[in-house]
Amino acid sequence: MDQADEALRRAMARALELARRGPAHGPNPRVGCVLLSADGRTLGEGWHRGAGTPHAEVMALDDARERGADVRGATAVVTLEPCDHTGRTGPCSRALIDAGVARVAIAVEDPNPVASGGAARLRDAGVDVLTGIAADEGRLVLGPWWHAVARGRPFVTLKLATSLDGRVAAADGSSRWITSQESRQDAHALRAEVDAIAVGAGTVQVDDPALTARDADGALAAHQPLRVVVGRRPVPPSARLRGEGGELVHVSTHDPREVLALLHEREVRHLLVEGGPTLAAAFLRAGVVDEVRAYVAPVLLGAGLPAVSDLGIESIDGALRLEPREVRRLGPDVLVVSRLGPPRTDHSTGPSGTAPLIRTASEEI
């Protein structure tokens, strides 16, 4: 590897580090940009701070100007393909062209058909474009946003908080608290990163959740996700969901795909499904769960409400097999983060191949 390639890879690593400073939530991706001179010096840096703010490339150009640096002939190292459309801000592809940048190195090509085309625009203007530099790391930083835009629906995380024998409540219905304070704090941190949280209408009736994101001191986090209630039962006027926190959205359906379509229209990129068991089963049977975060406490109940209702699985051969990605200790509990495989193309049957996908989506949702 020559010095130029090494400088390029170091700059991409720095751009990815900058991208991580951006918010995990919101309709826009995390993006970082580093401008390099011909001899490998950093001329400017930038990252995207969220919807409506300057994009990473424009921020890097502004940073270079503030430093008094000349970017003509420079290389722009960007974690995501520069956009080529005018939304809340102008197209980054044209900003780079107008600035006289000679080369652009890109980690990940933009899967969004509305914003993509920046690489082609740059090439047409005579700019040398390299793609696929640290692509895996780039997609990892983009996280749920990349999956949501590529698939045309929100990335879905199913959260479970259970006893060791898979119960979310005791026989008398009590459930506070099965998991530890450490697990609850981690779950609140997750809420502060997602765009929306969904629960079933039955859970609203029984548990009256607030669905807010709070810090370790119990104060409301700066970002509050949409609070989504799924099902035909009305939300009681006195429900805590009508109090402080994110906007309340009631989706009067039992079909997870209708929920995701509505949220996609609202530019929700990451949906956290929190319960109850019927809603969890409906999303699993519909084949739209991408990730499961299971908080498991060393508690045995022996009876009570299961974490997931009937999935229509009649034998072990039909079991949903997940791929563990992370196992972490949280106080006395264990967090297991797993991913499911790609969505099934046959949506007429459940995991066992015999049961309709939404059969368990009853009035309990």
The Cβ-side half-sphere exposure at 334, using a 13 Å CA radius, reads: 10
Hey, what are 298's tokens?
């060393």
**Three-state SS at 136:** helix
**Three-state SS at 162:** strand
Burial level of 52, CB count in 10 A (0-12/13-18/19+)?
exposed
Give the residue numbers marked as catalytic. Answer: 57
The DSSP-derived string for 25-42 is SSSSPP-EEEEE-TTS-E
In this structure, the dihedral spanned by the alpha carbons of residues 76, 81, 83 and 84, taken in order and rounded to 10 degrees, is 90
The Cβ-side half-sphere exposure at 94, using a 13 Å CA radius, reads: 7
**Three-state SS at 60:** helix
Give the span between the Cα atoms of 288 and 256, in whole angstroms: 8
Give the span between the Cα atoms of 339 and 290, in whole angstroms: 6
Angle, CA of 313, 319 and 324, to the nearest 5°:
145
